[in-house]
Amino acid sequence: MSVASLALRRSLHDLLNAHGPLVAALGGAKVYDEPPRTVAFPYVTLGDARTTDWSTGDSTGHEHALTLHVWSRQGGQSEAHVVADEVMAALETVPLTPSGQRVVNLRFATADIRREADGRTWHGVVRFRAVTEPV
C-alpha cells in the first residue's frame, strides 16, 4: 500500500469517529481498523482498500477503492441501514484531510446490507472511490 492510502485511511477513521450523527447512531465512537474482541454492536470497521496509479504525465495521483463494513444485531436490518446512511452522510458533508494529500474526488459507489450466516448479524458493505494527489 502507498503512503497516500494509509493517510487516507487514517483520515477516514478520524473523521467518522468524530462525526456526531454517526457516533450517536453507534452509541459511541466505534469505528475501528480492527475491532476489540468484546466490542458491542453496532460498529463500523475499515475494510479492504485497493490503490491504483492515477498519475498523469506531469503529476502524481492515486485512485482508492475504499470499503467500510457496518455490523449490527438490533432491530432487523433497520439499524444497519441507519448506520450505513450516517457513514455516507459523513463522507458527503465533511471533507477528508489526509496528511500530505489532497482529496481531488470522493464518490459513493455502492452499499449492500445482508444477513450473516449466524442469522443474528446484519452486515452492511459501503464502498467509495477517492482520488488523491500529494500536496
pTM of the full predicted structure?
Answer: 0.94
**Residue 76, pLDDT score:** 78
Taking the C-alpha atoms of residue 24 and residue 26, their distance in angstroms, rounded to an integer, is 5
**Residue 56, pLDDT score:** 86
- Within 13 Å of residue 86, how many CA atoms lie on the same side as its CB? 27
Taking the C-alpha atoms of residue 68 and residue 11, their distance in angstroms, rounded to an integer, is 13
The values of phi and psi at residue 53, to 5°, are -70, 135
* pLDDT (tens place) for every residue of the chain, 135 residues total: 589 999 999 999 999 999 999 999 999 999 999 999 999 999 999 999 899 998 888 889 999 999 999 999 987 799 999 999 999 999 999 999 999 999 999 999 999 999 999 999 999 999 999 999 999
CA distances (Å), origin 28, targets 36, 37, 40, 66: 14, 16, 10, 23
